[in-house]
Structure 1
């Protein structure tokens, strides 16, 4: 009896169809994901990575490849290899568009948000840092606030700017103030270490979330206990107010009281009452 062969998903390499920076950034991100999938497949099947993975050159549209090969690398297309193409892609992705430095403070203030609708603190902080990384990559800001090689030049300055932006855009304001105080007086390493900053934000976000939940749980039972009492008070007031309203609404009889002949009802007549 033959053993059935496993069926594997076809993993398609992304196609690079344009040399503009936005397209290169998207393609580079998808290419890294593609390589990860191929490596995982090879670790399971025992296939050779080099024998399965697509080439970079084959993943770029011929019309797109011709221009950088001819005018940037100064080579014929057939003489260009994968490493040279990837180097040019990475260079474009990690450089400022048109060599122009945008207003980084405004850019992150508009784009970087901590989603307070997410009640899972871990997920909320993860999304916050993921959004930060994506904004950096999408705008070619790696040279200014990217991570990179810790031993490379300017690393500490980049990390300082990186951490400052991450702290500046924390929400809610109470969490931001707490993190700022801790960094200023106690956790100074978080000024230049985004990994330590991540742990600090997550720790105190959890604490504040627990406090918030406990506060809500204490308030709700109190409100429920007060509602019947308030309703009872309102009912009593309405009951007391009803006779008064009815009394004010009674007009004297046209012919006067039958006994005292006054402008009042018989039950209000002083003569009849005295008798």
Structure 2
């Protein structure tokens, strides 16, 4: 009697090869996914997560690492991801009109609204608008001006326009 062979997935740690905002945002996203996969693997195999995870230092290419202090890597990633590229404040309203729309194909209203908020948070992180619009995570007290701007963007991008008028 033969038994099927187990299938193992090789989980590779993401590599940081360039110190740019786009590369850092991608690295941060990939690193979070990598850590979740390792955590799930360790839950099944009873391995120690600290022994299995590749350190952030080992994930950075040596040429890039030569120019950075080890202690500043994670803080630098957070700082750079949370600022606007080259300290230039773009037309945030115009960008969100282009990228952010309510999905009217979702029939369930609660699911549609939930997806709307999730999509907004994802866009803020992906486009590096955390410095301008703030972040709703971590239990910190939100900046009043940033919250006003967040709400204004979300209301102006509501569909259909009748809903926009009702919310205002």
TM-score (norm 2): 0.83
What does residue 32 of structure 1 align with?
A: 32
The answer to whether 1:174 aligns with 2:162 is yes
Q: How many equivalent pairs are there?
A: 165
Can you list the C-alpha shifts for 1:47-93, whole angstroms capped at 9, x where unaligned?
101011111111112222223x1xxx4xxxxxx2xx53111111111
What is the aligned counterpart of 2:153 among 158, 161, 165?
Answer: 165
> Aligned to 2:47, what secondary structure does the other structure show?
coil
Q: Which runs of 5+ in 1 are unaligned?
A: 74-79, 181-275
1:19 CA displacement: 1.1
What does residue 109 of structure 1 align with?
A: 97
> Aligned to 1:54, what secondary structure does the other structure show?
coil
TM-score (norm 1): 0.53
Which one is further off, 171-180 or 96-105?
A: 171-180
Give distance in 1, aligned partners of 2:155 and 2:147.
Answer: 12
Higher relative contact order, structure no. (Cα contacts within 8 Å, ≥ 6 residues apart): 2
Higher share in helix: 1
What does residue 45 of structure 1 align with?
A: 45
Instruction: Report if the CA contact (8 A) 2:82-2:130 is conserved.
Output: yes
Instruction: Report if the CA contact (8 A) 1:149-1:155 is conserved.
Output: no
1:165 CA displacement: 1.3
Give distance in 2, aligned partners of 1:43 and 1:5.
Answer: 20
> Aligned to 1:34, what secondary structure does the other structure show?
helix
Can you list the C-alpha shifts for 1:226-264, whole angstroms capped at 9, x where unaligned?
xxxxxxxxxxxxxxxxxxxxxxxxxxxxxxxxxxxxxxx
1:149 CA displacement: 4.2
Instruction: Report if the CA contact (8 A) 2:83-2:132 is conserved.
Output: no
Matches within 5 A, 1:258-273: none
What does residue 23 of structure 2 align with?
A: 23
Q: Which runs of 5+ in 2 are unaligned?
A: none
Instruction: Report if the CA contact (8 A) 1:148-1:155 is conserved.
Output: no
> Aligned to 1:115, what secondary structure does the other structure show?
coil
Give distance in 1, aligned partners of 2:140 and 2:109.
Answer: 33
Give distance in 2, aligned partners of 1:148 and 1:15.
Answer: 26
